Every structure is written in structure tokens, then in C-alpha cells.
A and B are shown apart, each in its own frame.
Chain A
């Protein structure tokens, strides 16, 4: 082992308590940052998933006019062959056609305004996680109900509560159809949803796409295709690939204004996209604050220990140790101190993060009010951190840099001592 390193470690061991206390401070700072990173990652995951996986999907295809201004009559024709063309792209995992309507849903007691989504139950399940949110009853069956029976509908929990209905109850839907007429139909609740997406949970009703097309006089046309991609981050690339494919198809004869556009969720939900990038940057500020305090601790310790050992240094320099070498020894000391503290902190922070990643952090510890929604995503019950090698390694590595930097000044001052007066005790 290098002489500087050996000397450094010995010096640290000689002052056990001092080293332990500094280590403790560094460890606490690193553990806090590890936990922060894991928690922010988990939180952002939850936001992206809550916002895209449940309802929006990662990419959506609309007619150009609908994307500009949604109107019930701005629909387009999409058959299975068209959807298969899209899923054939390597970027696209699944595609779900949809009809989007707004109407009044109610019974003889009361009614509520609702968003109605007409979906293909099978394709929708492949594309989004909405069916996993069924908390009462069941998801839509594979094909529409028999024509003699009411149409199947699955309600968001808030809507079900407002209408005071449960699976089995009947409802009437009343809405404006594509041809300007007023469409209405009898529905039967088959399930209730709680997905974590506040728009779905508060006011959305899902029905079979055929039923929705019939009540809205859409004649087999749809408003939207939602696409699932493997990595939400890469949605813009997938959207570009889809757009290229659509352009190739458009070449088959659609006029410009009736063409189709593909947009990634970052474009569809700009507010969320903004918040995500802000949250990603916010931990830089945390680093600055927490590590600044830790750096002061290291600086102080190193300065004191150098001050105390000035005679020792005087002797070392007198017997021929180059000041540069002395500087090296002291910086290595700070580095070893920072490294041990950072490793301990990484361990502690890693364990706590791992615990919160597997068991989750129960929000009810902080408030007895239950959860809350933020940017359309419901935060309720337990929030799970996301453990990753980066979340542990980054705070540890940054701390090493901080340790060296905060050890530099005390080392610099100490290495410039005048041997003779120092040994004589005249400083």
C-alpha cells in the first residue's frame, strides 16, 4: 500500500472518536441523499405510470383536426389491419382503439357528467393497466352484451359513489352524438375502478367500443388509438416512428387535414412533463445543501487535526518529507474519511431505501387525512421507493469529491508550515 494511504489510515485510527464522529456526519448526509434519490425515482415512476400507464398510454394517434380541437364527429376509420400495422413497429407493444365521449350518466335519483371511453376490452387490457384497477365486480367482458340486455359499463370509483350505484345497478347515458342528435342508452354497471389516476377514478366510465359507437352514431369510427411502448422515456422516438408509418399510409390517399398525427405523452400531458423535469433537477439543490453541511464537518475535523499535529508535521518536513507529499497524506486522510463515511451512509441509506422499496412508505404516518392527488395521479397508502445501483452509487461518489475538496484547504495550510519554529513550539 502506498505510504500516504498507510499514514493517513493510521492517523485516523489514532483518533478513533474524532474519526467516528466525522464518519457519522458524512454517513448521515450520504444516507439521506441515497434515500432521497431512491424516493424521488419511485415517486417519478409512480407519476409517469399513474399518468400514462392507466389511461393515456405512451403515444396517441388522432386525426389532425381532433388533436387540434376534440369534437365527437372528428373520428377516423381504424380496422384491425390498421392497428396491426402499428403494433408491427418494433417500438410499439400494443394498440387500443377508443371512442371518447362526454355525457350525463344517471338514474331516477341523480345524474353526473362523465367522460365515456368506448374501448376494446382485450386490446385495452394489453395497452393500459386500467383493468388491474377493478376493485368491485369485473372488467368488461370480451364482447358486448346481448342486444336484449343493457350495455355493460365500468365506472370510476368516484363516479360510482356520486351516483350511489354498485355492480348490477342500471344507469341511463345521455349524450350528444356525432350527427348532432341526442343519443341515449340503458347501461348496467359491471365493475368499479380504482386505478390511481384521478381522472379515471373521479369521472370516467368505460364501455364497449361498439356500444359507444352506436350511442354516439359513429358508424364504426374511432377518435383515438392509444399505444403502449416499453420505455415511457422513449415515447417521443416511438411517436416519430409511428408518425413515419402513418405518413406512409396517408400516402394512400387521405387529404392533409384528415391525416393522422401521433403524439407522445410528453406532448399530451405537458404539465406533467414539466413537473417531472423539475423534480429531476430538484435533488441537485438537495445535494448542495446537505453536502455543504457535511463538507463543513470534514473541513473542521481536518483543520483541527492538522492544527493539533503541527509539531509532528514539522518533524516530518524537517526529516525531508516534501510539503507536496504532506499535502498528499492529508488529502488522502480526508478521502479515506469521506470514503468510509460515504460507504457507511450508502449502506444505511441503501437498507432504508430497500425497505421502502419493498415494504413501501406508509403516507398515513404523516397525515391522518388519507391520500392526495398531484398532477392527476393519486398518492395514497404506500409509496414505493425505487432502488437502483445509481441511486446508491451517485451520492457515495459525489461525497468522495466533496471530501477531497473540503480536505484540500486544511491540507494546504498544514503543508506550508515552517519546520523550525513549529518544532520549537513557537507558532
Chain B
């Protein structure tokens, strides 16, 4: 009976109820959409960071990641990758060499972050030829010691496809090594910093230059869908740490702490704003119900005289709020869902705010298009929090209504 009574009571003051519902609906839908867009951009940033780091789980010589020191290597990297592939939950293990180096031509020298990879294996993480604008693929070229260069660097060095460049780097033993490479092609990502420093070569070519045939600096591990990264990392530690050189196994959380730190901070700010917004909404609701109770003193008095106990009158007020909240949350959810679908479908390019390239946590992000994604647990928590806040804000009014004395209430005149 109470819900029906509550429903009727709500619509007796239509404008007021609609205003209240719209306030809750609006802020609730806004919160959900903000979470959806935030989670999606965070995911994109994280993906970019993980891609830049080299995999979901990274295997290095112990101490490598914090120093990127070229002497901390995995001397038998291919075997490490092979053993990692045998661990359950591993989708692919990608051996690669990261080498800070100088690339020089007659026109100058440029510092590069050289990545030596097996292009076919690397494809499991990223297609390095995606940004190839001129020349040939590393796995298709007939050139000996091929190298792909960022287009801005190539322009600065005034080199052309097929041209020669000299690579200078410190070898595994710390001795400076110089080697001749042939330019196979140019890469253009559109991000200035990347196009100035990017260079790819094959593992074979790098080994040729460094006089070696198995050493890598990193094995990037990709996990199969549904695998717990922490558990897998532990299994890899077990499987790889036993013999040979000491290794470090890092999950992406440990590998890109800066990005994780940014995302957690950004989320925290969203929650602070959401909390204050709902304090404002809660004040409005508390107010409305307080007024409603005063206004309906006679009505409550009558109900009381008819035998409805004080407590049940209090419950009636709470049920009214609950019904109002349900309607607001229902409508808000529908609006948020529509917003989510629309944003996810069309996307919002951040370029419309005049932002093109940005650097975040050491990762260069360009031309990001914000879409939306639903994190079920977060949406549930937000919904419950909104419902508790709105219903909770009517408690004061409910207590007041419950304490009315029937005889006095009936005598009350406006």
C-alpha cells in the first residue's frame, strides 16, 4: 500500500517532483557519462603506455627498467622468450632490443631510440609498418642491415631510401660500436617528438652490428584474454628466474607507474566533484521533503488518526523519496546509456579543443578520439551511492513526520 500511496503523493505536487527528479537525473547521468568517457580515455592512454613499454608483462635483466642501462641485458634472450611462450596464459613473447644510439650521416647526427625487433613477432603487439610512408618493409627489403627512420629525423639528416647511415652505440661490454645501416624506409606518426627519434631495425641487423646473435634487452609478454596478469607474472618469475641471469618480471602496472598514477589521480578528482555535486543535490532534496512534511501536516495527522502509526508515516516519506529516486535513476540511466552509445559511436576528437599532440607520463598521444566505455562495477557503485544519498537526505524529514502528534497536527492551520 505504501508505494502506491507514495506514488500518488508525489504526483500531487507535479512541478516540484519534476524539478527534483530532473536534478537527480541530470547529475546522475552526468556522472555516468563522465565516468564512461574518463574510463575510455584512461584505457586509451594506458594502452598507449603499455604499447610503448612493450607488453602486458615485461621481462628484463634485473634492474634494467629503472635505468635502461644498455649493459643490463638478457644474454640468452631468445631462449627466455621461448620458455615464456611455454607458460600458461602467455599469448606471445616478443624479444626485442632497445638501444639508445646516435645515427649520423654527412649532414649531422641525431640521437635515436633504436628498437630492434622481429617485425612478424612484433605484430602481435604493434604493426611497426603501420606508419611507413616511403620505402619498404623491414621483412620485405633486400637491403642488408635495413633501418626504418622517423621522417623528421630522416629529413634533418637529409638521407633517402637506400641511403647509408652510421649507427653509434655502446655495445653490451660498454665499448662504443659503430656500424653501417641502409635506410629501408621512413615512418611518419604525426607526433613530432616520435618522428624525430624513432628508428626500427631487425634483430639480425642489430646483432650483426653488436657482434652477437641472441642477446636482447627485453622480452615483452602478451597475455591471453581473461588471464590474470599478476598471476601470470608470478608464474613467469617462477619459470624464468631459476637459472641463468637474474631477471625482473614487471606487470604493466609496475612498468608504467606514472600513467597509473595519473589515471588514479584523475579518477580521484572526478569522485571529488561527483561527491560535492551530490551534496548539493542532497541539500535540495532534504529541503523539499522538509517543506513537504510541514505542508502536509494535516494530511499526516489524518492518516495518523486513521491508525497509521508514526513510524509508518516516516516510512511513507522515505518510500516517496525512494520512488522518486528510482524514477530519477531510471531516467538518468537511460539518458546516460544513450549518451554513452552516442559518444562511443561518434567519438569526440580532443582536437576540437585545440589539443593535438600531448605528452602524458612520458607517452606521446596524438589526435586522440574520446569514446566511452562502461565499467560495470563503477556504474553499480555510482548508482548505489546516488540512491543512498538521495534517500538518505530525506531521513530528517521522515523523522519529523514520524514524530507528529495527531491531535496537534489536525488542529494545525496554514
Contacts and interface: CB of A to CB of B under 8 A. Distances in A.
A366 B266 CA distance: 9
B361 A28 contact: no
The SS class assigned to the A binding surface is helix
A202 B67 CA distance: 11
A373 B264 contact: no
B213 to A, nearest CB: 21
B168 interface: yes
B102 A103 contact: yes
A21 B357 contact: no
A276 to B, nearest CB: 10
A303 B280 CA distance: 18
Interface in B246-295: 257-262, 264-265, 267-269, 273, 276-277, 279-284, 286-288, 290-291, 294-295
Given A110-B174, A274-B355, A69 B156 contact: yes
B67 A72 contact: no
A299 interface: yes
A25 B71 contact: no
Given A71-B108, A176-B102, A293-B26, A372 B414 contact: no
A369 B276 contact: no
A180 interface: yes
B284 A297 contact: yes
B204 interface: no
Interface in B44-77: 66-72
B170 A110 contact: yes
A295 B392 CA distance: 21
Interface string A58-100: 0000000000010110000000000000000000000000000
A100 B290 CA distance: 70
B20 A300 contact: yes
A281 B355 CA distance: 13
A214 B252 CA distance: 44
B357 A372 contact: no
User: Most B CB atoms within 10 A — which of A106, A311, A376?
Assistant: A106
Nearest to B72: A110
Interface residues of A, number: 72
A164 interface: yes
Given A176-B102, A176-B109, A293 B174 contact: no
Contact of B283 (A21, A115, A308, A365): A21
A373 B193 CA distance: 15
B67 A162 contact: yes
A305 B291 contact: yes
B170 A111 contact: yes
Nearest to B288: A300
Contact of B358 (A289, A297, A363, A375): A375
B205 interface: no
B355 A109 contact: no
25 contacts: A21-B284, A102-B102, A104-B169, A106-B174, A109-B71, A110-B71, A111-B176, A162-B68, A163-B69, A176-B109, A292-B26, A293-B277, A296-B23, A297-B280, A300-B20, A300-B287, A363-B261, A369-B257, A369-B258, A369-B264, A371-B261, A373-B362, A374-B358, A374-B360, A375-B359
Given A21-B284, A25-B279, 18 more contacts: A25-B280, A28-B276, A32-B273, A32-B276, A71-B108, A104-B170, A110-B72, A110-B170, A164-B67, A275-B358, A281-B353, A297-B23, A308-B291, A308-B294, A363-B265, A369-B264, A372-B361, A375-B359
Interface of A: 17-18, 21-22, 24-26, 28-29, 31-32, 69, 71-72, 102-104, 106-115, 161-164, 174-176, 180, 198, 202, 271, 274-275, 277-278, 281, 286, 289-290, 292-294, 296-297, 299-301, 303-305, 307-308, 311, 363, 365-367, 369-376
Interface of B: 15-16, 19-20, 22-23, 26-27, 30, 66-72, 100-102, 104, 106, 108-113, 156, 168-170, 174, 176, 257-262, 264-265, 267-269, 273, 276-277, 279-284, 286-288, 290-291, 294-295, 353-362, 414
